[in-house]
Chains A and B, each alone.
Chain A
Amino acid sequence: MTSMAEKSAVIRMFHVHKRYGAKQALVDATLDIAKNEFLFISGPSGAGKSTLLKLLYLAEPVSEGQILVDGMNLSRIPRRRIPMLRRKFGIIFQDYKLIPSRTVYENVALVLEVRGKKRSLIEKKVKSVLRVVGMEDRMAAYPPSLSGGEQQRVAVARAVAGDPTIILADEPTGSLDDESAATIFELLNMFYNRGATVVVATHDKALIKNATGRVLQIRQGRLDTPPDI
């Protein structure tokens, strides 16, 4: 019999290991992430937070174990289906990963273009999400001309433009000042309240302090729940 928690789990990891040569980046990670859960994965740099997220969107393959995302077994997914998997996610990176030669509008529109959406719909949607993150007036700007906080807001807009069911944020406030970090956190909270599952990997203690959801600690590639948070 499967429990209610298992039934509603959108991400399931079973005894997952990730090795880079002799180095163990992730050790025996078993984890369920429920639908519409706000989960923090906390730990120092190099603990394995980013690795765990990368395994979810198949930027890296697992060395051992299994991961299910929305019922898809990532070990058995054919290469041509990987884009479909990634479209389930909205991914926010610490270094924003915006295309410098494309405008703010074009960067956000890309998510919808890869899905083959019509131009009129893309325009409507992009303007709408840029309005939500407060970047509507910078649509024609190029990323290098924006501040870090602004670039991260564009990255958030891009992450949510495709209406993903899961938002993965890898150190989203890592290189931002407190005010910008608070804005990003508010945005993530807003999308969580709208029904998205949000997984944030961070070492930002201030961010975790305000956490309303579950917090998992990761140390030297091993997952456990911190006792004092």
Chain B
Amino acid sequence: MIFYTRRAIKDILENRFLNVVTIITIALSVLIFSAFGLFFLNAQDMFNAWKKGVRIMVYLAPGTSEAQRLDTRYRLQTIAGIQSISFISKADALELMKARMQRQTSLLDNMRENPLPDAFEVTLVTESNSPEKIEFLAQRIEGLPSVSEVEYGQQWIDRFANFFNLFKLVGYGMGAMFFMATIFIAANTIRLVLYSRREEIHIMRLVGATDNFIKFPFYLEGLIQGLSGGLIGLGMLFSAFSAIGSQFEQTLSAEMVAIRFFSIGTCAAILGGGMITGLLGCFFSLKQFVKE
């Protein structure tokens, strides 16, 4: 093994240019693929956090009396899946609106009467956060007396989920394409090395070298290329993450979402993927070369 490893390293150093090209190609592929992965990971976290915070706004019909309001509150409390209920009076809602609009409050000041309805803000228990359950709860609440309208972010969440899934699909497709392109480039680099050394390989065969003896250092070369490319790609991603991640974190702190880098296990899997890419590149070119 030491002998083969030394030979593989010697070969890499002797064919520096070709090997550097392959390593850079693998590094870029790993970088792009991992960048997508990292985006998905954090977007998924954010999405999950938003889903956790799903609230249902229950607007009461105009002219709802105190007794009807209490009755509605009581009925809401009996519905399973609801975590908390808080009442927002139309006056509170207007104040809130004014606070949010800040510079445009003059528009609201000129109103003769408050057009906003009284409402309950209903938060759900975590188990009720699935789109189907939210829909079901919303329909039940909508059927309660004195309830004029129910509003929840379901449509928005659905849209985002669809967009997210589509983006994920594009990511997978691009990842697969990059993977294949990298294998193709790695295979061609190894093929160039093989052609530049075909006389040497011919001599090795004449003196009794087996196919495995000839192939093994190339496989090791592929693994080393893949590992180096993977380390460089991940390193570049981590540098970029460290540089710009903190800025994102500040923006997202209000959403209580912390952005994070891959776990050690995922990093190991990405490096493994890089190594497999290098190995497959070798496999395809050697398969053809040995046939020749």
Which A residues contact B (CB, under 8 angstroms)?
57, 59, 80, 83-84, 86-87, 91, 97-99, 101-102, 110-111, 113-115, 119, 158, 162
Are B210 and A97 in touch, CB under 8 angstroms?
no
Q: How far is the CA of A119 from the CA of B2 in the complex (A)?
A: 11
A97 proximity list for chain B (CB < 8 A): 203, 206
In the complex, the chain A residue whose C-beta lies closest to that of B211 is A80
User: Smallest Cβ distance from B10 to chain A, in angstroms?
Assistant: 9
Inter-subunit contact A91/B209 (CB<8 Å): no
- Distance between Cα atoms of A98 and B203 in the complex (Å): 8
The CA-CA distance from A158 to B204 in the complex, in Å, is 12
A177 to B213, CA, bound (A): 36
Residues from chain A with a CB closer than 8 A to the CB of B3 are: 113, 119
Q: Is the CB of A99 within 8 A of B203?
A: yes
Complexed CA–CA distance, A101 and B14 (Å): 9
Q: Which residue of A lies closest to B209 (CB)?
A: A114
- Alpha-carbon distance A203/B206, docked complex (angstroms): 23
**Chain A contacts of B63 at CB under 8 A?**
none
A80, A83, A119: the one contacting B208 at CB < 8 Å is A83
The 7 A-B pairs at the shortest CB distance, nearest first, are namely A87-B208, A114-B209, A86-B208, A83-B210, A83-B208, A99-B200, A111-B207
Report 26 cross-chain contacts, Cβ distance below 8 Å, ordered by A residue. A57-B206, A59-B206, A83-B209, A83-B210, A86-B205, A86-B207, A87-B207, A87-B208, A91-B206, A99-B199, A99-B203, A101-B14, A101-B200, A102-B200, A110-B203, A110-B204, A110-B207, A111-B208, A113-B3, A114-B204, A114-B207, A114-B208, A114-B210, A158-B207, A162-B207, A162-B208
Report the separation of the CA atoms of residues A127 and B200 in the bound assembly, to the nearest whole angstrom. Answer: 22
Q: Which residues of A contact B205 (CB under 8 A)?
A: 83, 86
A84 to B209 Cα, complex, angstroms: 9
Residues of B within 8 A of A80 (CB): 210-211
Whether A114 contacts B213 by the Cβ 8 Å rule is yes
Sample of 13 more A-B contacts, CB < 8 Å, known A115-B208, A158-B207: A83-B205, A83-B208, A86-B208, A91-B206, A98-B203, A99-B200, A99-B203, A102-B200, A110-B203, A111-B207, A111-B208, A113-B3, A114-B209
Expressed in whole angstroms, the minimum distance between the Cβ of A63 and any Cβ of chain B is 21
Produce 1/0 per residue, B207-235, CB < 8 A to A: 11111010000000000000000000000
Residues of A within 8 A of B203 (CB): 97-99, 110
CB distance from A91 to the nearest CB of B (A): 6
Output the least CB separation between A172 and chain B (Å): 15
Smallest beta-carbon distance A165→chain B, Å? 13
Q: Tell me the residues in window 147-179 of chain B with beta carbons closer than 8 Å to chain A beta carbons.
A: none
**Minimum C-beta distance from A187 to chain B (A):** 18
| Mask of B110-138 contacts with A, CB within 8 angstroms, 1/0 | 00000000000000000000000000000
Most chain A CB within a 10 A radius of its CB, from B14, B203, B207? B207
Tell me which residues across on chain B come within 8 A of A115, comparing CB atoms: 208
Rounded to whole angstroms, the CA-CA distance of A86 and B206 in the bound complex is 7
In the bound complex, residues from chain B placing their C-beta under 8 Å from that of A99 are 199-200, 203
A98 contacts which chain B residues (CB < 8 A)?
Answer: 203
